[in-house]
Amino acid sequence: MPAKKEAAGFLDLSALLGEEKQAAAEFIRLTGAMYDLLLTGEYEALEALLNERQSFISRTDELKARADLLYLELRGGLSSEGLAVFYARKDEVAKLWQEARQQDKVVAEKMHALLLELRQKLSDVSSSKKGLMAYAASSRPDIARALDDKF
């Protein structure tokens, strides 16, 4: 592969990794925003953030595939310095995604805790309703008897 084409390919590869790094950073920002919404109880806005976050996952998958294909084309012609830069950039991106996974786990745990809390509240409401219905059913015959006695 000619040196000029190799250099251009390396620049393209570096740009793809830079875009992937930006997408990972944006994913982390959105995950943090989701956590903040969970803390403040603004659940309606979560769906929009989830959709936006999914677009960054899709974009990252696309960028990763393109970068991997380009790397396969270039790897034989890259200098040891070029390979070192490539692997350093890949490590940066991997660390960001590791941080993203940790944040995502925290958000998932918070969502799970909120779901359990909601289930408990629904169970409490159901129990209260059953108790009220049982009380109302037991008091109804007395009212009916009183009405019958009056008429």
> Are 66 and 13 spatial neighbours (Cβ–Cβ below 8 Å)?
no
90 — phi, psi (to 5°)?
-60, -40
Give the pTM.
0.73
pLDDT tens string, the chain, 151 residues long: the values are 566 767 788 889 999 999 999 999 999 999 999 999 999 999 899 999 999 999 989 999 999 999 999 988 888 888 888 888 889 999 999 999 999 999 999 999 999 999 999 888 887 776 666 666 666 555 555 655 555 565 5
Q: Which CATH number fits domain 3-106: 2.50.20, 1.20.120, 3.90.550, 1.20.58?
A: 1.20.58
